[in-house]
Amino acid sequence: MKLPSWKVMGILNVTPDSFFDGGLYGTDLSATIDRAASMIRDGATVLDIGGESTRPGSQPVGLQEELDRVIPVIESLKTRFDTTLSVDTTKSVVARTAIKSGVHWVNDISAGRFDSDMSTVCAEFGVTTVLMHSRKTPLTMQMNFSYTNLVRDVVEELLSSVNHFIQAGVSRDSIILDPGIGFAKSVNDNLALLRSCYSFIETGFPLLIGTSRKSVIGAVTGKESSGRLAGSLATVAETYRQGATIFRVHDVAETVDLLKMIDAMNGGVDE
């Protein structure tokens, strides 16, 4: 059987206030580990561990609190599972500590804007680095944003971040781009970006899509976050068709089944 060309990144939030799963796992280490084990069984190839909510309007978390949330989880997962671990953080100290504790990827929603040392840390350890487009901070990102040419502006701003990381010593082959669905974007902006994956893929970097249960899906379907699975899967199917290969999701089993079925229909499974 051919190996899949995609990766499913399971979201493991250890926060009390994330928009969908805040508080479900982070208050109990054993519950968090059980959730991670479930996602691995369901086919997640990367687990993304975050200790600070970045939903619109969220308040920042102090350095020590974020460390206290994520490091015990990372250390526990490292001893139990042979799975790629990612840390979702904008703080270079958290990234450095997480890498030393066993993390392989750094997922920075600010693409280095919040902490100029992030690029140095990623370069020092040679980790895979996800650079996401955003503006301002989670607290203010949905206020007074505008674009001259949405897709071009987002691509150019991401490439500016890429250049900063490469100049710091990060390998070009280690960088993944994320257009930042829901971050300083209107509903129509988000939909336009989801129609324009080719513009990001043309840069030569792998493309990560993170739409799972986000508000753009609620705006289209009229559903609350608990009812947005079908809409989330639709975005995965369409962006995979366009060439995206990494999908950051809450619903690992359903996403894996979807991608397997698409591959099978396109001749990706040997007889």
Dihedral over Cα of 235, 241, 205, 197: its sign? negative
Helix ranges (DSSP H) in 58-133: 63-80, 92-101, 118-125
| Count of positions (residues) in the chain | 271
Q: Quick one: residue 249, left, alpha or beta (phi over 0 = left, psi -120 to 50 = alpha)?
A: beta
| Catalytic (active-site) positions | 214, 248
**Long-range CB contacts for residues 259-268, cutoff 8 Å, separation at least 24:** 259/4, 259/6, 259/8, 260/4, 262/237, 263/2, 263/4, 268/2, 268/4
Q: Is 65 helix (H, G, I), strand (E, B) or coil?
A: helix
